[in-house]
Structure 1
Amino acid sequence: MEIANLVVSHKKATLEEIEKAWHGDCRALIERVLRYPNVSECAILMTCNRVEVYVVGTETEKTLKDFAKLMRVSERVIEIHKNDACLEHLLRVASGLESMMVGEDQILGQVKDFYNISKQYGGIGDILDVVFSKAIQVGKKVRKLTNINKGSISIGSAAVELAERNLGTLSGKKVLVVGAGEMGSLVARALAHKDCETLIANRTFSRAEKLAKEVGGKAVPFNKLERYIVESDVVITATASKDYIITREMLEKVVGVKKEKILLIDIALPRDVEESVADIDGVELYTIDDLREISEENLRKRL
Structure 2
Amino acid sequence: MKALKVISFTYKNCELQAVGRLVIDPAERFEKLKALKDKFHFGELFYIATCNRVEFVFSYSHDVDSTFVKKILKFTYPHLTAEDQSYYSVNSAIYTNMSAMEHLLRVSCSLESLVVGEKEILAQVRQMYDECRKWGFTGDFFRLIMNRVVKTAKEIYTDTKIAEKPVSVASLACRKLRDEGLGYDSKFIIIGAGETIQLITKYLHKHNLKNCVIFNRTVSKAQELAEELGGAKALPLSELKNYREGFDVIVTCTGATDPIITTEIYEGLLNGSTDKKVILDLAIPNDTAEEVITNYNLSFISVQQIQEIANQNVKERQSELVFAEQIIDLNIKEFLPILRQRRVELAMREVPVKIKEIKQKAVETVFVEEINSLDPASREILEKVLNYVEKKYISVPMVMAKEIMIQQ
Indicate the TM-score class for this superposition, using the shorter chain for normalisation: 0.5 to 0.7
2:219 to 227, 238, 249: 227
Distance (Å, rounded) in 1 between the aligned partners of 2:125 and 2:12: 18
Deviation, structure 1 residue 114: 0.8
- Correspondence 1:300 to 2:319: no
- Assess, with a 3 A threshold, how the Cα gap between structure 1 residues 33 and 231 changes in structure 2: closer, same or farther: closer
The two structures have a TM-score, normalised by structure 1, of 0.59
2:128 to 106, 110, 114: 114
Higher helix share: 2
**Higher RCO structure (Cα 8 Å, ≥6 apart):** 1
Distance (Å, rounded) in 1 between the aligned partners of 2:3 and 2:15: 29
**Counterpart contact for 2:9–2:55, Cα < 8 Å:** yes
Structure 1 segment 92-111 matched on structure 2, within 5 A: 92-111=106-125
Deviation, structure 1 residue 32: 2.6
1:151 to 165, 173, 179: 165
**Counterpart contact for 2:47–2:56, Cα < 8 Å:** yes
1:173 to 179, 190, 196: 190
- Assess, with a 3 A threshold, how the Cα gap between structure 1 residues 120 and 64 changes in structure 2: closer, same or farther: farther
Distance (Å, rounded) in 2 between the aligned partners of 1:13 and 1:57: 25
- Correspondence 1:50 to 2:53: yes
Report the 3-state secondary structure (helix = DSSP H, G, I; strand = E; otherwise coil) of the residue aligned with 1:7.
Answer: strand
Distance (Å, rounded) in 1 between the aligned partners of 2:218 and 2:127: 33
- Assess, with a 3 A threshold, how the Cα gap between structure 1 residues 37 and 100 changes in structure 2: closer, same or farther: closer
Distance (Å, rounded) in 1 between the aligned partners of 2:134 and 2:212: 34
Moved more, 5-14 or 60-69: 60-69
- Correspondence 1:68 to 2:61: no
Higher strand share: 1
Extract unaligned runs of 5+ from structure 2. Answer: 78-84, 176-187, 226-235, 242-252, 257-283, 285-306, 320-408
**Counterpart contact for 2:46–2:138, Cα < 8 Å:** yes
Deviation, structure 1 residue 230: 5.4
Extract unaligned runs of 5+ from structure 1. Answer: 162-170, 193-211, 236-253, 265-283, 285-293
- Correspondence 1:6 to 2:7: yes
- Assess, with a 3 A threshold, how the Cα gap between structure 1 residues 69 and 112 changes in structure 2: closer, same or farther: same
- Correspondence 1:40 to 2:43: yes
- Assess, with a 3 A threshold, how the Cα gap between structure 1 residues 11 and 95 changes in structure 2: closer, same or farther: same
The two structures have a TM-score, normalised by structure 2, of 0.45
Number of aligned residue pairs: give it: 219
Equivalent residue letter for 2:57? Y
Deviation, structure 1 residue 26: 2.4
Query: What CA deviation, in whole Å up to 9, does each residue of 1:69-119 have, x standing for no partner?
Result: 443362232101001000000000111101111011111111111111111
- Identity fraction in percent: 21
| 2:19 corresponding residue in structure 1 | 18
Distance (Å, rounded) in 2 between the aligned partners of 1:156 and 1:121: 37
Equivalent residue letter for 2:10? S
Distance (Å, rounded) in 1 between the aligned partners of 2:207 and 2:189: 20
**Counterpart contact for 1:6–1:81, Cα < 8 Å:** yes
RMSD across aligned positions (CA) = 4.2
| 1:276 corresponding residue in structure 2 | none
**Counterpart contact for 1:5–1:64, Cα < 8 Å:** no
Distance (Å, rounded) in 2 between the aligned partners of 1:51 and 1:218: 40
Q: Say which one has the larger Rg.
A: 2
Equivalent residue letter for 1:20? R
